[in-house]
Each structure stands twice: as structure tokens, then as C-alpha cells.
Amino acid sequence: EVQLVESGGAVVQPGGSLRLSCAASGFTLDDYNMHWVRQAPGKGLEWVSVINWGSGTTYYADSVKGRFTISRDNSKNSLYVQMNSLRTDDTAVYYCAKDKHSTSSLLDAFDIWGQGTMVTVSS
Amino acid sequence: QSVLTQPPSVSAAPGQKVTISCSGSTSNIGNNYVSWYQQLPGTAPKLLIYDNNKRPSGIPDRFSGSKSGTSATLGITGLQTGDEADYYCGTWDSSLSARVFGTGTKVTVL
């Protein structure tokens, strides 16, 4: 079964750092574009970042550029996001998601989502 | 602010049809594939439509997608109480080099 399981969510103070993890099973993570998407309480979906299959090229939303870093560990079949200089408006449920097609362009769709992990930035 | 605009809410009686619009521009919908997602309360989003009008395995044909120019539409026929959810469109924005989502539409079954 194809599955994504996020972990690492916590309560952190403004200016702090946190690393989220996403363990993949049932598929080879390196064959797919992998994303982080977040959803603030009561708000809509916001795409955060993607790491391209193979090359590992990364892209970020303007709201997190320079503060967040997406990465993957193929040996662990896991995806990560390192979040630094956290702000109160980073408070959200963070989902990892995979693209539907292997070795695809970025013009694809998210077909599998994790259950999400909650990040709360508060003093 | 999202670059894709959806109506905040739509509603209809059971068995009826609803359509949800998603309006964008040439840098996103106009030149890239559109996908649609259903998010039931308290759960992760679920893929309903990809590549403008294709349904993943297991998605009933009550759900359909279309695209024309810089707009896309999700249709739901034979509305059921279990369809009450938030629905989001999504695509790649070539100017932003980013995936983007619509503002979201809440579907209510009267």
C-alpha cells in the first residue's frame, strides 16, 4: 500500500526551528516529485515546496523562501522540511504529498497525501 | 493570496448537480493541467480529477472536470450528503514556478 506518514510537528516559539519528516512506503520516493503543503486553521491549502525527482531541484513558495529547506534521504525513503525563523503565520497542518506520475514534469497532480502534522508557532 | 479564484460556497439538494469554477490566468490554468481535490472535514485532501478531466481509479463518474481558456470547472452530479466537503482546484504557475491552489469552495447538500 502506498502511504505517507508525517511526524515532527510541535509547538515552537517565534524565531525557532523545526524539522518535519515524511516516511514513504509502497513506492520509491526518488521516482516522484514530492511536496509539502500546509493548511492554517480554518484556511485553505497553501503549497510550500517541491523537490524534483532524480535531479533534486527544489522550488519554494515566496512565503517560505530563504527560511524553509526541503530535502530527501533516498536510503530512508523519507522526505524532510527544515523550517527556520518560524513565524506565527507558519502555524498550520503540514502535509507531505506525492505526484501521481513517476518521473513526471512539475505539471502533475498530488495523488497521495499524508495525514498531516500540526505545527504551532506561539510564544 | 491565491492566484486561482473559486466561489466560496455552492449548494444544491440531494440528487441535483453543482458546478464549481476556478479562474486563473495564462501563466497557470491557461497553459497547464488542472487538478481538483476534495477535503472532507478533518481529513487530508483527496485527488478527484487530474490532467483537466481524468478521474483516478475509484472516483465515481459523478465527478467531472473541464477546462476552457484560463478557467476550469468541476461538476458533481447526483449530489449526495457524503459530498459535503471543501473542494480545491490546483495547477502549476509558470511565472511563479510554484504549484498553486484555488481559494476553495464549500459544497453544502441542502
Q: Tens of pLDDT along B28-70? A: 999 999 999 999 999 999 999 999 999 999 999 999 999 999 9
Residue with cell 473559486: B6
pLDDT of residue B13: 97
* Element holding A95 (H helix, E strand): strand A92-99
**Residues B30 and B68: beta-carbon distance below 8 Å:** no
Q: Are B6 and B102 in contact (CB under 8 A)?
A: yes
Q: Which residue of A has its CA nearest to B50?
A: A109
Pairwise CB contact (< 8 Å): A59 & B90: no
Say whether A35 and B103 touch across the interface (CB within 8 A): no
d(CA A21, CA A50): 14
- Amino acid A54: pLDDT: 83
pLDDT beyond 80 at A24: yes
- Closest partner residue to B99 (CB to CB) among A47, A113, A116 is A47
Q: Which residue has the cell 480529477?
A: B49
Which of B88, B96, B97 is facing A45, going by the closest CB pair? B88
**pLDDT at residue A94 in the model:** 98
Closest-approach residue (CA) in chain B for A38: B44
**Residues contacting residue B61 through CB under 8 Å, at least 6 positions apart:** B55
Q: Cβ contact (<8 Å) for A110 and B35?
A: yes
- Whether A61 sits inside 8 A of B88 (CB atoms) is no
Question: Cβ contact (<8 Å) for B50 and A108?
Answer: yes
